[in-house]
Amino acid sequence: MSEHKEPSRRDATAPAGNAARPVTLRINGQSHTLQLEPRTTLLDALREVMHLTGTKKGCDRGQCGACTVLSNGRRIQSCLTLAVMQEGRDLTTIEGLSDGDALHPVQAAFVAHDALQCGFCTPGQICSAVGMLAEARAGEASAVQPLAAPTLPLGDEEIRERMSGNLCRCGAYPKIVAALREVGGRQGKR
Ligand code: FES
Ligand code: FES
């Protein structure tokens, strides 16, 4: 009597294990279908596959904020998310913030206040600040005022706390805070 074998549950046409597979990402307003291993981080997909090298790899472990991008308008660390997890979301990198030649107001404030030295942390600082200001304008509390909506314009203590996930090894913090103080109280702006 022949032994009955259960049919394999895996679709024979599905890529096995870590084999590359198509992943569609919407980046800076355009859809791109990339061939990615499922373990590929969003950071590596942006830098190594899309060649969007404005997003920086500092620590690659969620500690420095250099890799910050926006996902559906919220700031995320792209080294801590898999690219495949971002399918169906709108991603914005530093390359997508300006409107043609017109800088985003946060970019312009960084230039006006000379809020950088080597610039390595700057794309992450700016993307994080754009997300941070949206959070503040939406009334999201912070550790400074955990039980209350923030008072706009944001004070320096609020700015420092809300930007505390973005490190700057050059120590450009005073000018970063000054730049964000300038744009931090504007309502309804980008
Ligand atoms: S590279 Fe992502 S947090 Fe440092
Ligand atoms: S400007 Fe050099 S790390 Fe921030």
Identify the CATH number of the domain in which residue 137 sits.
Answer: 1.10.150.120
| Per-residue pLDDT at 175 | 98
Helix 105-112 vs helix 122-137: angle between axes, to the nearest 10 degrees? 120
Is residue 13 one of the residues assigned to a domain? no
Q: Are residues 47 and 68 in the same domain?
A: yes
Residue 118: CB atoms within 10 A of its CB come to 10
With left for phi above 0 and alpha for psi between -120 and 50, is residue 28 left, alpha or beta? left
Q: Decide: 37 in ligand 1 pocket, CB within 6 A.
A: no
> Which of 120, 125, 128, 163 has most ligand 2 atoms within 8 Å of its beta carbon, as the pocket-test mutant?
120
Rounded distance between C-alpha atoms, residue 121 and residue 125, angstroms: 6
Total domains in the chain come to 2
Q: Decide: 154 in ligand 1 pocket, CB within 6 A.
A: no
Is residue 27 one of the residues assigned to a domain? yes
Q: Are residues 84 and 152 in the same domain?
A: no
Q: Of 39, 65, 96, at which residue does a domain stop?
A: 96
Q: Are residues 84 and 45 in the same domain?
A: yes
Q: Are residues 83 and 134 in the same domain?
A: no
Is residue 126 one of the residues assigned to a domain? yes
**What is the identity of the amino acid at 39?**
R
Q: Decide: 173 in ligand 2 pocket, CB within 6 A.
A: no
Q: Decide: 115 in ligand 2 pocket, CB within 6 A.
A: no
Residue 1: CB atoms within 10 A of its CB come to 3
Q: Are residues 92 and 111 in the same domain?
A: no
Q: Digits of tens for pLDDT over the chain (190 positions)?
A: 445 555 555 566 667 778 999 999 999 999 999 999 999 999 999 999 999 999 999 999 999 999 999 999 999 999 999 999 999 999 999 999 999 999 999 999 999 999 999 999 999 999 999 999 999 999 999 998 888 888 888 999 999 999 999 999 999 999 999 999 999 755 445 5
Token pair listed for 47: 């830098």
CA dihedral 164, 166, 170, 176 (to 10 degrees): -70
Q: Are residues 111 and 169 in the same domain?
A: yes
**102: β partners:** 99
Closest ligand 2 atom to residue 116 Cα is 1
Is residue 3 one of the residues assigned to a domain? no
Rounded distance between C-alpha atoms, residue 58 and residue 142, angstroms: 25
Q: Decide: 169 in ligand 2 pocket, CB within 6 A.
A: yes
Rounded distance between C-alpha atoms, residue 158 and residue 142, angstroms: 8
Q: Are residues 143 and 161 in the same domain?
A: yes
What is the span of the domain harbouring residue 88?
21-96
Rounded distance between C-alpha atoms, residue 95 and residue 187, angstroms: 24
